[in-house]
């Protein structure tokens, strides 16, 4: 191997790191050396000439800033000496030299105003309206009648209207202070006319009446459908309907016995 080949060997990794660190520290040193600059001292201003207007000139300059200087008559305008400096006229009221003259009081005219008012405005006569005494009639007593005269009834609505109700039940009236509404029961009826299910839709306001309506609806019997073997289907033969119980409201019964005289 020749001497030129030995001198051309590549640098090692350690040599590259050493050169990089050397250049880095040189860069930091140069930044610190040239970057740390002391501020230059301020130069004090030398005395300069000053100009000042006299007091009379300053007053004239400030007068030019008045917006009414040329808009209307002004004491400092071109005609201020003729228009605005007119002498004020002197006025001297005359002196009274006569004796005082007092207003005389006329006793004949005292109260003339009220007397004239009474003469021209006479009082108007009016009659006092006297109402007769109130006559009270004796209290009238009426017999107690039922709150609803119509008796209780049962009405069928819905698809069950086409099927007659066998043996309609006899409905009673209910003693109650307030009027009762209708008890509405929804029922499911099979082909034989038997009620399979009953549900209370609307309450009458009285629990006993609603329970009676459910009991009568469950025991109701409708006319059976004709038997058809070809089209007999359990589901299609069921029918829904509504039973409306219109209750009669009776006057409440007094349980307390009447007092003996």
Q: For residues 156 and 160, what is the distance between their CA atoms, to the nearest angstrom?
A: 7
Token digits of residue 80: 């201020």
Contact present, 213 and 198 (Cβ < 8 Å):
no
Q: For residues 191 and 199, what is the distance between their CA atoms, to the nearest angstrom?
A: 19
User: Taking 50 as the threshold, does the pLDDT of residue 158 lie above it?
Assistant: yes
User: Taking 70 as the threshold, does the pLDDT of residue 36 lie above it?
Assistant: no
pLDDT by residue (tens digit) across 89-126? 788 878 877 788 888 877 787 888 888 888 888 777 76
- Per-residue HEC secondary structure of 93-126 comes to CCCCCCCCCCCCCCHHHCCHHHHHHHHHCCCCCC
| Position 256 confidence tier, pLDDT thresholds 50, 70, 90 | very low
* Residue whose tokens read 């109130």: 134
Q: What angle do CA 252, 258, 261 make, to 5 degrees?
A: 155
Q: Enter the pTM of the model.
A: 0.41
Q: What are the structural domains of the chain?
A: 153-227+234-250 (3.30.2420)
Token digits of residue 112: 């003339």
pLDDT by residue (tens digit) across 173-229? 888 888 888 999 999 888 888 888 899 998 888 889 999 999 998 888 888 887 666
Q: For residues 183 and 212, what is the distance between their CA atoms, to the nearest angstrom?
A: 9
Greater model confidence, 154 or 65: 154
Helices (H) and strands (E) in the chain, counts: 6, 8
Contact present, 259 and 227 (Cβ < 8 Å):
no
| Position 45 confidence tier, pLDDT thresholds 50, 70, 90 | low
């Amino acid at each position: 191997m020749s001497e030129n080949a030995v001198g051309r060997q590549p640098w090692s990794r350690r040599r590259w790191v050493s050169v990089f660190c050397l250049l880095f520290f040189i860069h930091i040193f140069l930044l610190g050396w040239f970057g740390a600059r002391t501020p230059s001292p301020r130069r004090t201003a030398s005395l300069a000439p000053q100009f000042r207007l006299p007091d009379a000139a300053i007053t004239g300059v400030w007068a030019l800033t008045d917006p009414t200087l040329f808009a209307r008559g002004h004491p400092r305008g071109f005609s201020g000496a003729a228009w605005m400096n007119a002498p004020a006229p002197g006025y001297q009221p005359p002196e009274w030299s006569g004796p005082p003259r007092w207003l005389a009081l006329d006793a004949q005219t005292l109260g003339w105003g009220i007397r004239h008012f009474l003469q021209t405005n006479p009082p108007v006569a009016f009659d006092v309206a006297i109402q007769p005494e109130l006559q009270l009639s004796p209290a009238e007593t009426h017999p107690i009648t039922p709150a609803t005269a119509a008796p209780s009834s049962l009405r069928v609505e819905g698809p069950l209207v086409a099927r007659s109700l066998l043996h309609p039940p006899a409905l009673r009236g209910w003693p109650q202070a307030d009027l009762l509404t209708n008890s509405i029961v929804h029922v499911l009826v099979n082909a034989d006319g038997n009620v399979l299910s009953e549900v209370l839709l609307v309450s009458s306001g009285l629990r006993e009446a609603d329970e009676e309506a459910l009991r009568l609806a469950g025991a109701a019997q409708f006319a059976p459908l004709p038997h058809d073997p070809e089209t007999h289907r359990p589901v299609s033969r069921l029918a829904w309907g509504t039973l409306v119980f219109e209750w009669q409201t009776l006057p409440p019964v007094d349980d307390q016995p009447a007092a003996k005289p």
